[in-house]
Amino acid sequence: MQKHSTLGEYIIRNQKQFKYSSGELSRLINSIRLAAKVVNHEVNKAGLVDILGNAGDTNIQGEDQQKLDVYANDVFMQTLTNRQIVCGIASEEEDDFVTISGNNGANSNKYVVLIDPLDGSSNIDVNVSVGTIFSVYRRITKAGTPVQLEDFLQKGNKQVAAGYIVYGTSTLLVYTTGHGVNGFTLNPAIGTFYLSHPNMKFPKNGTIYSINEGNYIHFPQGVKDYLKFCQEEKENRPYSARYIGSLVSDFHRNMIKGGIYMYPTSTKAPKGKLRLLYECNPIAFLTEQAGGVASDGYRRILDIKPLELHQRVPIFCGSKNMVEKAIKFMEKYPKDAEY
Ligand code: P6P
């Protein structure tokens, strides 16, 4: 007797939650599920790169070996396009958004997807977990016309779905449609995702902080003050520093154990490093749906009005009490940059 429901059964059972959807959102999540399995298969072979050939080389079959992030981008773009589900896609791997035209040139589909196809891909060569991050909006321009930039530059509080796939010791698809956060683990033997993490919630408190402390001298004073708070011998401190250098992995661990992930501005990255549209907004939507807080240090990430496709913003996200404490340190000082 199967203990956990599969992703497919979960989507069917919760179809009524997608109140506006005529099944398109369900089909969209299903297409992401397929792409995740295809990318997972390739990422898991990455360890054989010397046999299969590096990016730009040809592998033993004489096929051109693609960089995995380019490969992942192609897989998600093709899967979303072939299934005629969305009308436009924006990707970290594409300079501009891509219009998906329907059979007759027009496209009556109502969703746009923004994606970071393989975040943390530099970790692949050292066998560290990587991830895919996606964000879904309803288009705001007229159905049947080509999508416009404004369809993609919507505030994060307009997202209809968001999620990530973490290609780690196991492969998980974690997503929300605004009704909580659920995680599904892939059984690679049969290629099925099973509901393994129902109704995920950030612990209100935590003892893990995730940040690249190598940038310490470049951080704003509020971040330096918060780090000293994390490290002093008081109450349940010092906290533990855990930083994998792969956003999805750090975020996923913190959501389960409790913690804060920070990528602040610095003199080296005056607007931060992470992209608002396909990293910070989906992560912020998931954070809030799991009872956490996601801020740029001064305001809610989901309320930021995007100005450009690949815009960067700073992010503090995770356990409510930890992020609120960090914000209190940040608010002692004026914002050090416009972003
Ligand atoms: P740094 C990976 O490149 C990434 O976008 C995130 O996944 C990760 O958390 C961060 O950048 C790491 O950046 O500057 O600390 O190496």
Please give the backbone phi and psi of residue 324, each rounded to the nearest 5 degrees, phi first.
Answer: -60, -35
Separation of 95 CA from ligand 1 center, angstroms? 20
What residues are paired with 210 via a beta bridge?
Answer: 261
Specify whether the CB–CB gap between 321 and 205 falls below 8 A.
Answer: yes
Dist CA 105 CA 94 (whole Å)? 21
Q: Any idea what DSSP says for residue 139? A: -
Write out the CATH class of domain 7-197.
alpha beta
Poorest-confidence range of 15-19, 44-48, 71-75, 265-269?
15-19
pLDDT at 295 over 90: yes
Residue 248 CA, closest ligand 1 atom number: 7
Residue 177 token pair: 């449609």
**CATH class of the domain at 208-331:** alpha beta
Predicted pLDDT of residue 252: 98
In this prediction, residue 152 carries a pLDDT of: 98
pLDDT of residue 339 exceeding 70: no
What's the whole-number average pLDDT of the chain? 90
Res. 205: pLDDT tops 60: yes
Query: What is the CB < 6 Å shell around ligand 1?
Result: 119-120, 212, 245-247, 250, 273-274
Query: Where are the domains positioned within the chain?
Result: 7-197, 208-331
Of residues 297, 277, 301, the one with CA closest to residue 287? 301
Taking the C-alpha atoms of residue 130 and residue 188, their distance in angstroms, rounded to an integer, is 17
Distance 88 CA to ligand 1 centre (A): 27
Residue nearest to atom 9 of ligand 1 (CA): 247
Give the pLDDT confidence of 103-141 residue by residue, as tens digits: 655 678 899 999 999 998 878 878 889 999 999 999 999
Q: Are 247 and 274 in contact (CB under 8 A)?
A: yes
